[in-house]
A and B are shown apart, each in its own frame.
Chain A
């Protein structure tokens, strides 16, 4: 049996949809950054924001999304694209759907707003805003819109968490706990996150959006398939990020040519150092979505997977490695094959 990729979806600074993502990645030119106002500063913080959709998706009219912050909108749009026609079956209860939602910063817009209200006067802090601050609010909206009653986990951690989500999805599918599993990585922009991120890497440009991968278990020879996820190698006092990245690389099986590496390089020396070293002898093609779109944490690792999968479908690669050397937790890799191994 194979863990088959049934669909992919993306919302990014490139726009809404995988096609927009592909167009921008093919140009291979970093998107221009804009300035996000930061209280107390005359200047702003450099970010890459998601442009407004050309037409507002009809699903945004659902009551659950009326107050939802951008992270939920990005996640829902990416998820719906990944699910495609499967949405109807899920709505009818014909598919036991698992949802794994991965974030690092999460619902920071409303969290900042609610805490600000608390500091000003807790007696008037909004009860409508608080529930939207909770990490699992976007996943809850998604489950509600899909009418899904099955397992729904929100996993928190650095960007590598999205790949952990893929591994968990494979586990659920392998144990027949679900018929299909949607793995979503999403983030939203806020000056608070951009300010915090800048403290660790001044040249990194923060971005936002979502990526989604819909997986099922299947015996068919149709691809692409998720063939491997490495262990999550933690950054510890006795295990540096460089060491963790090297272990991740060593754990990924070799690929038949032509092959692709979809890495997490940002073209920022400090941020890229350990990952560059881990992959310095890589001979195949290379794609670096974050260098073009920015650092989108859980959304960015999801874009890496979506970009790799899209390249497997639209270009002639046999397989693709996705490498994530996270900000402060772990190095982890995944491998997709264009067709299941016989």
Chain B
């Protein structure tokens, strides 16, 4: 059961602001201000406005002062999820998080300083410590007085979904009664430059599943979920936001960055998720696609969804919310799981509002404008470099 959900994206901070934005299909891109993009092909990203003052937690002023951007994003999402769950500090509460680059901006600062002033080390230890993924996660532990254990999954762009899937498995198999889980990533120069070098970034508008799509747009953010057993949630009389009912994961060995054209591993992950839940694809009312907006991802994912849905493909409602907030990399799977929870709970489908001409490869029904819909099950896809594929299946709680 999900009894807490926190989210921060370029659409805003918290459930309400994000729900309003996703529901209307609002887009949140603006010129990049965090680093110099004057020599890049792409100039836009979905930057988050981080508040100057962080919420009060058990972190000291000094700890908060040294937090990097990624830590702040994660903390803001975690504070919302923690507050909503009404959990109390518990020594053995596991934390499972996904990220692709942790505090990369701090690593970049370390490198620049190491080259420019090789004999001066002021603040270099802090940069090293803050660069590492475990720092951001340990900050969350310190903030709420929890002792872990701590698991960090870095499966590229499916990291967030893998983290939630792993957390769900811990609860399901009885290894934990409760788990705090999610994903986070902040924009960084190196990663922006990396996607730009691959010519994977859109120079126009991010249009997943559009016939004329020309690439993805990057974003940043975080989402954190409080997962617990039904027994625990009922005993505490906690408000249940929704349920994760299954998880599938598979590896695509085709290429380091390109998915198999037929979407074999994506299909395997989706099939595992529905099979494990004992469902047929026609019972899944909405698919939040990975839908990056690149030619290769979207055609491969479309092929996978077509094959997965089979005869019911035309009835499957699909959208990609990356048209609103960009690709959040390690946070994508977690944020999109929260979007599915919002959609199931509030009865709407988030549109990919930037689509003008749907790619004919899509045999399914794309959601291109705001819609109300009462859906029982939603599937969230996340695929990444290295062939990491994950699907989460969520259910509306009644």
Contacts and interface: CB of A to CB of B under 8 A. Distances in A.
Given A135-B100, A135-B154, A192-B111, A118 B125 contact: no
B193 interface: yes
Given A156-B154, A329-B134, A112 B386 contact: no
Contacts of B125: 199-200
Interface string A74-112: 000000000000000000000000010001101000011
Interface residues of A, number: 69
Contacts of A328: 129, 132, 134-135
Given A114-B190, A119-B112, A154-B153, A234 B147 contact: yes
B132 to A, nearest CB: 7
B39 A122 contact: yes
A157 B108 CA distance: 19
Contacts of B102: 156
Contacts of B230: none
Interface in B178-225: 189-190, 193-199
Interface residues of B, number: 69
Interface stretch (A123-131, A249-257, A283-291): A123-131
Contact of A234 (B110, B149, B199): B149
A99 B102 CA distance: 22
A136 interface: yes
Contacts of A157: 133-134, 150-152
B142 A237 contact: yes
A234 B253 CA distance: 35
B388 interface: yes
B251 interface: yes
A103 B133 CA distance: 11
A157 B268 CA distance: 29
Contacts of B371: none
Given A104-B132, A232-B150, A329 B108 contact: no
A131 B118 contact: no
Q: Give chain A's interface secondary structure class.
A: mixed
Interface stretch (A9-17, A38-46, A260-268): A38-46
A30 B134 CA distance: 30
A244 B182 CA distance: 25
A330 B114 contact: no
A111 B131 CA distance: 13
Interface in B360-398: 384-388
Contacts of A168: 151
A164 interface: yes
A118 B251 contact: no
A122 B193 contact: yes
Interface of B: 39-40, 60, 92, 99-100, 102, 107-108, 110-112, 114-115, 118-119, 121, 124-125, 128-129, 132-135, 138, 141-142, 145, 147-156, 162, 166, 169, 173, 175, 189-190, 193-199, 249-254, 256-257, 264-265, 268, 384-388
Interface of A: 38-41, 64, 99, 103-104, 106, 111-112, 114-116, 118-119, 121-123, 125-127, 130-137, 139-141, 143-144, 147-158, 161, 164, 168, 171, 175, 192, 195-196, 199-200, 231-239, 328-330
Q: Which 7 interchain pairs have the tightest Cβ spacing? A: A40-B118, A140-B386, A130-B194, A135-B154, A232-B149, A144-B253, A118-B193
24 contacts: A38-B118, A41-B118, A115-B190, A118-B193, A122-B39, A123-B40, A127-B198, A127-B199, A130-B193, A130-B195, A131-B194, A131-B256, A150-B251, A152-B251, A154-B153, A164-B151, A175-B169, A192-B110, A232-B149, A232-B150, A236-B147, A238-B145, A328-B134, A329-B134
Given A111-B190, A140-B386, 12 more contacts: A41-B118, A127-B198, A130-B194, A132-B256, A134-B386, A136-B384, A140-B385, A143-B387, A156-B102, A157-B151, A195-B114, A329-B134
